[in-house]
């Protein structure tokens, strides 16, 4: 039973990571505040929170790179 729950949790996290990869800055800000609530209430484990945090960090870096490219092109 535990393995099934773990597999479902992994699939849920994988789905969330795919969603994060498409988010805007405003959506990431909203996600960050929701994540704090989910961690405190126990809806998200520490392991899941770390995975989501890494995905958010990667997305923020991608947004930053895109902004830097746009600034370079504007010059």
- What pLDDT sits at residue 2? 57
Angle formed by the axes of helices 46-74 and 25-41, nearest 10°:
170
Helices (H), the chain: 2-20, 25-41, 46-74
User: pTM for this one?
Assistant: 0.76
Residues 12, 17, 19, 24, Cα dihedral to 10°: 150
From first to last of its 75 residues, what are the pLDDT tens digits of the chain?
456 676 777 788 889 999 999 999 999 999 988 998 998 999 888 889 999 999 999 999 999 998 888 888 887
* Six token digits for residue 69: 């490219």
Residues 31, 36, 39, 43, Cα dihedral to 10°: -40
- What pLDDT sits at residue 73? 83
- What pLDDT sits at residue 29? 92
């Amino acid at each position: 039973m535990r393995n099934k729950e773990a597999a479902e949790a992994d699939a849920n996290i994988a789905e969330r990571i795919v969603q994060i990869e498409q988010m805007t800055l405003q959506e990431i800000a909203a996600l960050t505040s929701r994540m704090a609530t989910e961690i405190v209430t126990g809806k998200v484990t520490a392991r899941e929170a770390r995975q989501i945090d890494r995905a958010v960090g990667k997305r923020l870096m991608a947004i930053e790179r895109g902004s830097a490219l746009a600034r370079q092109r504007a010059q």
